[in-house]
Structures are given as C-alpha cells and as structure tokens.
Amino acid sequence: MAEDIQTKFKLQYFDSPSAGRLALMTMDNGFDYTRPNVFGEGALRSLAEALDELESQEDVKGLLLTGKQFIFAVGADTSEFQGIDGDRVREGIETGHELFSRITALPYPTLAAINGACMGGGLEIALHCDYRTISTGAAAIAFPEVFLSILPGWGGTQLTPRLIGGAKALEVIVTNALNNNKMLTPAQAVDLGLGDRLIESAGFLEDSRELLERIVAGEETITRDVELEAGLDEALEQTRAFVDNKVHGATQAPYEAIDCIEFAARGGDLAEGRKREIEAMTELLPANQAQAAIYAFDLTQRRIKKQPWKPDVKGRRIRKMAVIGSGLMGAQMGALFLQRYEVPLVMKDIDQGVLDKAREHIGGEVDKLVQKGRINPGKGEFLKGLVTYTLDYEPVAGADFVIEAVLERMDLKKAIFADLEEVLDDDAVLATNTSSLSVGEMASDLEHPERVVGFHFFNPIAVMPFLEIVRPESSSDEAIATAFEVAKKIKKSAVQCADTPAFIVNRMLTRFNGAGIEAIRRGNTFREVDDAYKAMGLPMGPFELFGFVGIKVAFHTAETLHEAFPDRFPLDDNFARIAELDVDGIYDWGSGGEPYQEILDLVEVEEGAEKWSAEEIQRRAKEAAADEARIMVADGAVVDARDIDTGMLLGAGFPFFLGGICKHLDQTGISQEVTGSELVTEQDAAFA
C-alpha cells in the first residue's frame, strides 16, 4: 500500500490517580474509516519504533492499544502479497511475531480496546495483549485468512486455542472463514472468550481506560477457565470433514490451520507453534492458491466497488419503483427494493394468487427485520404500507425504475415494455431480469429504447451478491448510470457486459460444463462427472448445479447459446430429453442421492465410446473455458477478463483460491496453450 496511507502507531501518555502513568497506543493511517488500518512493512517499522520508546519508559504502568475511529485494524496489507516469494514471507512473518511478542513481554498489564473492525493481524495483535474490551459498535471481528488460502500467521493459530479452547478456535479460524468468510458480532466474540468485556460504543474508550486503571491498581481481576481439549476430538473430525466437502483437497491452507490449532490445543510449546506458523505461511502465501485468492479479493473488494464501467453522469433519482411479475424472483426483488430504498413500490402481476404470495413474502421479510430488532414495529408497518399490489398498469405510473421478472419469452417481455411505455415518463428506466435474451431486441419496438437496460439478478436474490448490468447499443448513459446506482443502493456488486447471448456467467458456465455433458454420452456416470469437477476445488459439479438452478432453466440457456453459436455450443440430445422430464434435478436427494431412474432410462451412450478419466474431463472443460474467455473479450462481451472472473466468483460461487476461471487457466498454463497468451493481462482494460 502506498506510503501516504501507512498505518502508524502513535503514543500518548496520561496520569491516573489510582494507577500511575499509562500509555495509549493508537493505530492510525490518517484517513477516515473508509480506509482501514492495515499492517504493511511501514506499519511494522512504526510499531518497532513505538515499542522502542515504550520499553525505554521506566515509569509506565499499563498500556491501552486501540485504533482510529470505527477501525481497530483489519490485518496485513494484502497489496504487498502479490508476487511475493518465500524469503520475503518468512521475513515478514518472523518480524510480526517478534514485534507482537514484545507487547506480551511488557512488564505491566496491556489491554486492547477493540473499538471497530478487527480482523486477521488486527485480531492477532489484540491477542498479544493481556486483556481485551470490544465495543458494541465494532463492525466485524474475524480471522479471514483461511478464506484467502493462508492461515493466521502472527500467532492466531496458537493464541486463540489457548484463550478459548481448540474446538472454538477451529470454528473461528477455519469453519467461519470457509462459510463465506463469516464475521463475528461483538457480542459473539465476547461470548466465545475473545473479549473480556463488551462495552457500549458511547464512552467505549473511556470505559476501557478505566478498566485498565482498575486492573493496574489491583482493584479488578479478570480470570479465565479454559479447557483446551474440551470437545476437541469431535471438533477435529467434524472440521476436517467440513473442509473436505468445501475444498476437496484443492488448497492446503485449512488443513494446515487445523494442524496448527490442534498442536496448540494439545499443549504444544508456544515457541514451536510459532515456528509452525512461520513454516506454513512461507509455503502457503507464494503458492498459486493464495496468489489467486489475493487477486480475487482485489476484484471483489476493491475493483468492483470503483464501478469502472459506470458512465460519468448522474442517474435518475429514484422516488418510486415497480416490479412487473411477482413470482419467486419478482417477490424477492420487491422485498430488497423496499428495504433498501423505502420508497413507494408497485408489485404488478396478472394473477391475484401470485400477488397474494408476493404480499406474504414481502411482509414476512419486513416482519423478520422487526423480530431481529433492526427496525421497530411502527417502521415495519410503514414499509408494508408503501407497497401496492395490483393487476393493472395504472398504479405503475410515476415510477422511476421498473424491472420485469416474467417468463423467458421475448414476445411477452416486449409486450410488457410496450404497455409500460404507455404509463411511464419518457426517461423512466426500464430494466429486464432476463438471463439470456437480447435486451436490445426487447427494446427495439419502443419509442424510447435508450431507457432499457439489463439488470440480471442471481437466485436466491437475498444471498447472491452479483448483478450483470447489460448494456445494449441503444442504452443511454443515464440509464446505465441509474442501473449502477441502484445496484450500489441495494448492496449488489455489478459488472457491465454487452448484449450478447447469456451475458457473462451463464455463457461461461454453459461452455465450461459442456465437457461434463459430453462425458455422459461417452458412458461416464453423473457422479463421476460431478466428482471430476469438484476435484478442481469447485463447490459442486454441473449436474448438482442443474438441480440448484433448475434443469429447464439451464437447458433454455443452452438453447439460446446454441442458436447464437452452434459450433461452440452443440445441443446435447440427452440434455434435451432430461429437460422434458418433471424432475427437480438429476439426483433424488430424498432417496439416497442417486440419479432419478427415469433420467437413467433416457440416457443414451454413443456406440463404441470410451469413458473419460477425471483428468480428461477436467482438461476438456478448462480448454473450452479458455477458448470462450478469449472470444468473450475479443468480441466485446466483456471489457476485460477480470470481468469474467468477478462474475464467476460472485455469481457462480467459484472459490477464491481459484481466482475465478481466467486466473486459474493462466496459473495452470491452459490459457497459454489454447489462446497463445494469458487471459488476465497486466493492464486492466476497464480502467484504460
């Protein structure tokens, strides 16, 4: 990270009538809470200087460590990780251990006042203090390292088990990280034992200082009773099984973390435990998985938030919204728009029964907010009162942003847009949630086609963070800017793509999964294919995925792509026959997870065909993906290969340790073999 936002450790001193002279060490990079404190080389130098000064002060009786407003520290500066070699890793990890251990060795009580977000190395430096207070306003507390295919390397795997026990440490460091990087609330962190006191944010620093004074003066004692091995054997077995199911052995970080935690929980020597962390990090951080994860982290946490595709114009102000089609997807959209915008919302459908179900869903989501204490009952009733459920178009008049969520039929969508144009202002934005149809064609008969954009959600809407904003040639800058502003308001990560068949995620997934479908014709079983894909580290194989998204939906996308690109997207006869069945997936999970017999009865194997090995299936899938990624960038479907990776990470659940499909293909050399060069170029075209 640039030197001008280097985190510095600033020292102040104050005198306490009861405790004597105390030191306050504040971590501060000079910016507000939007630029959190991180630990890079400069920060560690600053800490060394602060500790030199502290150790020279003979009359200090206690230390209070805290962060700038709303931020404690969020760990190491990941921008220094890219391309790092083992020697630099070892030097950085050893330096962190040495410096943090000096805090523990101070000859007086030390207290970390966790006033805000506290993650990774930030939590580790806090663990090196004798005591910890946590503010009720702290945004998030976590060890995210395993999510990034590394492990807590500055004492986290050794000190956490000693503080809260091995079983809880496994949950905090491994399970939470692989559960989509789950964060702890302040109350949860204190309940687990990571903090000694939960203190209201108002007056937090003062109350923490007073606690330190009482500890130094001997007026208050904090004791802990920790059974390091309580429930450890069962927790180890469950955690290893969980990790196997999540990563299928494709990254070593969680397994290394488990081993380090077990060593500490079994009473291993702390100095030896620190050495184990250093050795593990020296191997893990330069490896492909961690480097891919750092790349993925940058895409999803930094690059996408800059919205480089958004036109430099102001979008339309949103004072009223409408959803046309109130079924499963439409109702989810309505609930999200209502909660985020709190403006009048119209839910339109042709079926009163569908509207009644939408009312039940949206009202139920509001009730959940009330039950969780996020809004009061009066606010809940106010929000419900903002929604109009109607069979007619007249109540839609005056809406600024309208999205259709009806069946994937071009004639139906065009008719709806024509009806909407009769009641809306000329510059109201019309959005479509189509997953594969041409947005430009949808708008072609309108008087104002420039108002139409694609706004493709992924199901389930409340969970999936990704949006594809589709820009046909006819769309205006204002309409696209509005779409990006809506995405930001509803807290979705949006990537722009051109109006090409199936857009980004569905197009790439269909090509990538094509090898699996072809393997069935060659005699491979559905389970063999899914296992081959999962062995690459994917959360599920293509046929498990079909059950998740719906076989008919997947086949409709395949049809769309076949019509557009028949040479690259052949339409498989087995797939077509299966899509005609009334089944909810390939596997009958209610009867042991075997494929439905009616599906097996339909499958035809090519005469004389030989099964593919798992390696052959993987190879063909990757080669097809590399070819399609090259074409998607070349034909302008996306601006940069990073857009494909972002979509696959956030919209298809590709694990961070693969970095998305393009990064993985580059790292494994497939892209160079297939296309002649790497897909992820040094220059990001989105910022060109």
Is 441 marked active-site? no
**Rounded to an integer, what distance in angstroms lies between the CA atom of residue 174 and that of residue 552?**
37
Amino acid identity, residue 55? Answer: E
Q: CB of 642 within 8 A of CB of 299?
A: yes
For residue 3, give every residue at least 6 positions away whose Cβ sits within 8 Å of its Cβ, in sequence order, or none.
Answer: 42
Peptide bond just before 395 cis, omega within 30 deg: no
For residue 470, give every residue at least 6 positions away whose Cβ sits within 8 Å of its Cβ, in sequence order, or none.
Answer: 439, 453, 454, 455, 456, 496, 497, 498, 499, 503
**387-390/466-471 β-pairing:** unpaired
**Is 82 buried (19+), middle (13-18) or exposed (0-12) by CB count in 10 A?**
exposed
Q: CB of 109 within 8 A of CB of 129?
A: no
Nearest Cα neighbor of 509 from 408, 679, 625, 588 is: 625
Q: Which of 53, 98, 145, 682 is catalytic?
A: 145
Nearest Cα neighbor of 625 from 538, 683, 553 is: 538
Beta bridge partners of 417: none
Q: CB of 551 within 8 A of CB of 585?
A: yes
Q: At what angle do helices 86-104 and 41-56 cross, to 10 degrees?
A: 30
Q: Which of 41, 91, 124, 682 is catalytic?
A: 124
Is 145 marked active-site? yes
**Is 223 buried (19+), middle (13-18) or exposed (0-12) by CB count in 10 A?**
exposed
**Rounded to an integer, what distance in angstroms lies between the CA atom of residue 495 and that of residue 421?**
27
SS3 category, 72:
strand
DSSP codes, 368-432? HHHHTTSS-HHHHHHHHHTEEEESSSGGGTT-SEEEE---S-HHHHHHHHHHHHHHS-TT-EEEE
SS3 category, 138:
coil
**110-114/131-135 β-pairing:** parallel
Q: CB of 482 within 8 A of CB of 310?
A: no
SS3 category, 456:
strand
Nearest Cα neighbor of 267 from 236, 226, 235, 222 is: 226
Amino acid identity, residue 358? Answer: A
Count how many Cα atoms sit within 13 Å of the Cα of residue 105 in the half-sphere of its side chain: 10
**Rounded to an integer, what distance in angstroms lies between the CA atom of residue 649 and that of residue 466?**
9
Q: At what angle do helices 526-534 and 542-549 cross, to 10 degrees?
A: 100
**Rounded to an integer, what distance in angstroms lies between the CA atom of residue 601 and that of residue 502?**
30
**Rounded to an integer, what distance in angstroms lies between the CA atom of residue 522 and that of residue 520?**
5
**Is 584 buried (19+), middle (13-18) or exposed (0-12) by CB count in 10 A?**
middle
Q: CB of 626 within 8 A of CB of 262?
A: no
Q: CB of 499 within 8 A of CB of 472?
A: yes
**Rounded to an integer, what distance in angstroms lies between the CA atom of residue 132 and that of residue 114?**
7
Task: Please identify every residue annotated as catalytic.
Answer: 124, 145
